[in-house]
Amino acid sequence: MPLMTSWVEAANAPDCDFPLNNLPYGVFDDGSGARMGVAIGDCVLDVARVDHGLDPDLFSAPTWNSVMASGPATWDALRARLMVLLGDPAYGAAVSPHLVAQSDVRLLMPFTVTEYTDFYASKHHATNVGTMFRGPENALPPNWLSIPIGYNGRASSVVVSGTPVHRPWGQVKRPDEALPQFAPSARFDLELELGAIVGGPSSGMVSVAEADEMIFGYVLLNDWSARDIQAWEYQPLGPFQAKATATTISPWIVTRAALEPFRTTSPERDRPLLPYLHEPGPMLYDIELSVGLAPQGASETIICRTNYGQMYYSAAQQLCHHTTSGCSMRTGDLLGSGTISGPDKDSRGSLLEMSWGGKEPVEVAGGQRCFLEDGDTLTLYGAACGDGYRIGFGTCSGTVQPAITLPDWASEATS
C-alpha cells in the first residue's frame, strides 16, 4: 500500500510518524481540558468537534474506552470517515479549525487501563534471561515452547509517556548478605515491549482469530523493572513489586487497521503448538523498534534496535490463551508482549541482557551503564515502514527520578 495523501501537508512527508495511513488515537490537552484526538502530520484533530458521523456520547469522556466498547463496526466507520475528512481537500475548510499543533498540547493517557497482563514471548529474551539464571542447558523453562507464559501486572501503575518515574524502594538481598535490606533498587531496568489493547470484551474461550478481532490497537510499552527486588521476591509466585513502580505507554493508540499491511508470520515452531494456539494467518507485525538512553545533561545513545516480527507468540495467541480458563476479558485490558529481544547483543530489549546481568557495561554518551541511573531518560521508538511512508508510534519516554525520601516510620531502628 502506498502513502495516502492528506491535505495536512506535514502528513505526507516520508519520515512523518502520522500520515493518513496511520490515524492513531490519543487524548490531548491544549490548556482548555482533556479531549480525544487523532494525530495527523504535526497536528492533532479534535475529533469530537468534526462531523464524525457517530454517536456524540462516544466522545463525551476524554478516553477511547467508549469507542473501543462500541465494537469493530464502529472502529471501521470512524476510521473510514476520518480518511475522508483528512484526505479530501474539500473538507479542509470545515475541519482545519479543529486541528491543534502537536507542539501546543500535552498528551494524556489515551484510554483507561482495566487490567494489565504482561507476557514473556520473545525466545531470545527468555533464552538470555534463562541462560544467566540457570545456565545454557536449562535456559528455556520446559513449558516455554508450549505456553504463552504470562502473569498479571498492576493496571494502576500504567502511566503515559513523559511521566517521571521514581526509583523504587523495596526488599533487596545482596549476594553476600543473609538477610534483605529495605533500600532503593540498585538494578533498575527497562523492558522494551509492545502493548496490545483489548477493545471488545469476551466471556468464555475465544479462538486466536476471534482474539485478533478483539484487539483495538497497539502502543509502545516500557515495563520498568527492579531486578534486585525481583530476584528476592519472585519465588514462588512471580514478579510483584519489582514490576509495580510504573509501566509507561506511548500516547497514541496505533490501530490494528493501520498495521494490517505489515502483518508477518510467526517463526518456525521448535515443536508443534497445541491446536487451540494455531494461527489462521500472520498475526505478528513488522515493526522496527529502538531504545534511546540519554543521561542527564548528555545526548541520547541508541542502545537497542530490534523488531516485533521476531516474537514467538502473537498478541492474538496470548489473548486466546488468557481466556482458556474461563477468564473474562474487558474493554481496556492491556497485554504487554514481553521484552522484545533479537538475536544480537545490540538487539536486546533490557539492560539486564545488554549488560549480561551487570557484567558488561553498555557505552552511552557521557558514560557506561549496567542499569539505570537517576536522571537517565529512556525513550522507546517504533514504526512500521511502508513504501514512502511510516506508521509511527510516536515516543514512549520516561526519566528516572531519585528514590523518594524514606518516611520515618519505615526507617525506625529495629527494636
- Interface ranges with a second copy (CB under 8 A): 114-115, 120, 141, 143, 146-147, 149-157, 166, 168-171, 173, 179-182, 204-205, 207, 209, 226, 229, 232-242, 244-246, 271-272, 274-276, 278, 321-322, 324-330, 404, 407, 409-415
The nearest distance, CB 382 to a second copy, in angstroms, is 24
The nearest distance, CB 359 to a second copy, in angstroms, is 21
User: What three-state secondary structure class fits 255?
Assistant: strand
Looking at the Cβ atoms of 32 and 235, the one nearer to a second copy is: 235
Beta strand residue intervals within 109-214, DSSP E: 116-119, 150-152, 158-160, 165-166, 169-172, 181-184, 188-189, 192-198
Distance of CA 1 to the CA centre of its chain: 25
Looking at the Cβ atoms of 32 and 325, the one nearer to a second copy is: 325
User: What three-state secondary structure class fits 284?
Assistant: strand
Our answer to whether residue 125 is catalytic in this structure is yes
Instruction: Give the whole-angstrom CA distance, residue 323 versus residue 34.
Output: 34
Beta strand residue intervals within 354-389, DSSP E: 362-364, 367-369, 377-385
Looking at the Cβ atoms of 87 and 150, the one nearer to a second copy is: 150
The DSSP code for 53 is -
The nearest distance, CB 370 to a second copy, in angstroms, is 21
Looking at the Cβ atoms of 9 and 276, the one nearer to a second copy is: 276
The nearest distance, CB 237 to a second copy, in angstroms, is 4
Set of cell numbers at residue 388: 514512502
The DSSP code for 2 is B
Looking at the Cβ atoms of 181 and 265, the one nearer to a second copy is: 181
Residue from 58, 77, 79 nearest 331 by CA: 58
Burial of 136 (0-12, 13-18, 19+ CB in 10 A): exposed
Question: Dihedral (C-alpha) 335, 130, 346, 342: value to the nearest 10 degrees?
Answer: -50
Question: Dihedral (C-alpha) 7, 8, 10, 13: value to the nearest 10 degrees?
Answer: -40
Q: Could you check whether the bond before residue 407 is cis, i.e. omega within 30 degrees of 0? A: no
User: What three-state secondary structure class fits 383?
Assistant: strand
The nearest distance, CB 234 to a second copy, in angstroms, is 7
The nearest distance, CB 406 to a second copy, in angstroms, is 8
Say which of 52, 125, 321, 322 is annotated catalytic.
125
Q: Which residues are catalytic?
A: 125
